[in-house]
Chains A and B, each alone.
Chain A
Amino acid sequence: KNQVEQSPQSLIILEGKNCTLQCNYTVSPFSNLRWYKQDTGRGPVSLTIMTFSENTKSNGRYTATLDADTKQSSLHITASQLSDSASYICVVLGVSNYQLIWGAGTKLIIKP
């Protein structure tokens, strides 16, 4: 069964600190992997999209990595800000069944 699992479920860190969110998937083969940021009650906003051949992609303070061999991705946030408080969702596009498989998300809380 195609799955996308994210960890941790929730995370609290102090402003200014770095953090890394994990995404493990069983979707295979896949076309691309995306990370979205979703503020509470708002629509998701795309942070990065990586194809299976890419290893890393950055968007400002956000850096996503992808290891297609181990089927793992991570999202690293540097120098966290209060506005980074949100849910971060990993999404994988499967090739065989042509579906976007959404993870449940990691809820990140940044404390001053």
Chain B
Amino acid sequence: DSGVTQTPKHLITATGQRVTLRCSPRSGDLSVYWYQQSLDQGLQFLIQYYNGEERAKGNILERFSAQQFPDLHSELNLSSLELGDSALYFCASSAGDTLTYEQYFGPGTRLTVT
């Protein structure tokens, strides 16, 4: 158990809808990262937050947005969903703000768009 929690575990929704994925980092970690993993693909980095501020951006679509709250939990919002958004979404956390710190991954949220 990495100490990173993600909810919900599974999510099934229809095209065009909007969903919110939630992540709580390990106790004491200030950075949160979001990743997308499509079926049999590698992880794609989406975005990083450190202590409430956006720190780095990867291949995140404009339909996706994220934020980190004062209690350090983070939410990833996915809107106008398309079939291709079906994937595993992982959250990771680390102690520091740079990518040199080890990342600890949560169990993931499996999103299915029908």
Which residues of A are at the interface with B, using a C-beta cutoff of 8 A?
31-32, 34, 41-46, 49, 89, 93, 98-100, 102-105
**Secondary structure class of chain B's binding surface, majority of residues:** loop
Question: In the complex, A45→B105 CA distance in Å?
Answer: 7
Q: Which 3 A-B pairs have the closest CB atoms?
A: A43-B105, A104-B42, A102-B42
Which residues of B are at the interface with A, using a C-beta cutoff of 8 A?
2, 4, 41-45, 56, 58, 88, 90, 92, 98-100, 102-108, 110
Q: Please, which residues of chain B bring their CB within 8 A of the CB of A49? A: 102
Nearest CB on B from A23, distance (A): 13
Q: Please, which residues of chain B bring their CB within 8 A of the CB of A102? A: 42-45
Q: Please, which residues of chain B bring their CB within 8 A of the CB of A31? A: 99-100
Q: A89-B42, A100-B45 are in contact. Are A43 and B107 (CB under 8 A)?
A: yes
Q: List 15 A-B contacts (CB under 8 A).
A: A31-B100, A41-B88, A43-B106, A43-B107, A43-B108, A44-B105, A45-B2, A46-B103, A49-B102, A93-B100, A98-B99, A99-B45, A100-B45, A100-B99, A102-B42
- List 8 additional contacts besides A41-B88, A98-B56; criterion CB under 8 Å: A34-B102, A41-B110, A43-B106, A43-B107, A46-B104, A99-B99, A102-B43, A105-B42
Question: In the complex, A45→B92 CA distance in Å?
Answer: 10
Q: Please, which residues of chain A bring their CB within 8 A of the CB of B42? A: 89, 102-105
Q: Please, which residues of chain A bring their CB within 8 A of the CB of B99? A: 31, 93, 98-100
Contact pick for B58, options A43, A44, A99, CB 8 Å: A99
Question: In the complex, A105→B44 CA distance in Å?
Answer: 13
Contact A46 B102 (CB under 8 A): yes
Contact A32 B45 (CB under 8 A): no
